[in-house]
Every structure is written in structure tokens, then in C-alpha cells.
């Protein structure tokens, strides 16, 4: 029997709003890392024919320059479009138990809202991926 070769595709494209302010920290080697939680919605028609909505939540992690920009410009409620890949992160809890979490590694974050012009803030730069 021959082995079936599957294409290795790991792409995620989500739009939604931040459920909390971004959390910026630094890895042991000094690389900036910013994480945030994203709420997204799925609209569908149920078995009874009525429209229904389901809300999901996913953690997003960005690194390097993108992490700095996200920490500076995003806040709870910001609307974003995130493109990236899924990654499994593992760590040991303080009690020594092995923990795992599936999260999105954000490679490109598009800000879907602009700050009002009267705030005088510059438009955030596009970082990561295609403009």
C-alpha cells in the first residue's frame, strides 16, 4: 500500500474584535511578543430553518515588529483581520503539569477601523504580509 501524500496547508484567516487589551511581553531572548483574544461570529441556518449565530474565541500571538504595532494601536473592541497559521504551544504549569494550547500565530494583522481624525494619532503602519 502506498502512502497518501497530503498537501501541508496551515492557513487561518479570521476577522473579529479584541475581547481585551493586548498583552505585550518579551521572550527570554528579548523578542517582543503580543497576545490578544479575538471574538469571531458564524451565522448559519439551523435545522429548524431559523437564522442562528455562534460566537467563538481564539488567542492570537504576534512577534517582533508586528507585536509592537499591535500593542501600540489595538485595544479592547478593535476590529481586525488576522492572517496566520495554527500552532500548538506547550508549557509546564507551576504545579509541573504539562499544558497545551492551540492558538493562531498572527503573521499579518489588518486594522479595520481608523481612529477619529480629532485624536491626532497617525495611521498605524501595515506590518506583515501583503499590504
Q: What is the dihedral of CA 47, 53, 59, 61, to 10 degrees?
A: 110
pLDDT mean values, one per 10 residues, the chain (131 residues): 82 96 96 96 91 95 96 96 95 90 96 68 55 44
**What's the whole-model pTM score?**
0.78
- As a whole number of angstroms, the distance between CA 52 and CA 104 comes to 26
Classify 68 as helix, strand or coil. helix
CB 109 within 8 A of CB 66: yes
What pLDDT is stored for residue 62 in this prediction?
Answer: 97
What pLDDT is stored for residue 6 in this prediction?
Answer: 82
What pLDDT is stored for residue 122 in this prediction?
Answer: 52
What pLDDT is stored for residue 91 in this prediction?
Answer: 86
Going along the chain from its start, the domains and CATH numbers come out as 12-114 (2.40.50.140)
123: DSSP letter? P
Q: Which three cell numbers stand for residue 5?
A: 501524500
Q: Which three cell numbers stand for residue 116?
A: 477619529
∠ at Cα 122 (119, 124), nearest 5°? 120
Amino acid at each position: 500500500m502506498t502512502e497518501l501524500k497530503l498537501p501541508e496547508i496551515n492557513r487561518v484567516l479570521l476577522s473579529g474584535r479584541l475581547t481585551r487589551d493586548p498583552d505585550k511581553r518579551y521572550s527570554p531572548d528579548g523578542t517582543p511578543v503580543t497576545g490578544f483574544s479575538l471574538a469571531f461570529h458564524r451565522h448559519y441556518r439551523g435545522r429548524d430553518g431559523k437564522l442562528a449565530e455562534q460566537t467563538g474565541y481564539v488567542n492570537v500571538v504576534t512577534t517582533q515588529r508586528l507585536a509592537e504595532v499591535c500593542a501600540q494601536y489595538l485595544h479592547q473592541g478593535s476590529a481586525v483581520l488576522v492572517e496566520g497559521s495554527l500552532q500548538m504551544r506547550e508549557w509546564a504549569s507551576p504545579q509541573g503539569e504539562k499544558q497545551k494550547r492551540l492558538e493562531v500565530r498572527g503573521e499579518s494583522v489588518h486594522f479595520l477601523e481608523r481612529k477619529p481624525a480629532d485624536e491626532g494619532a497617525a495611521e498605524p503602519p501595515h506590518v506583515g504580509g501583503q499590504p
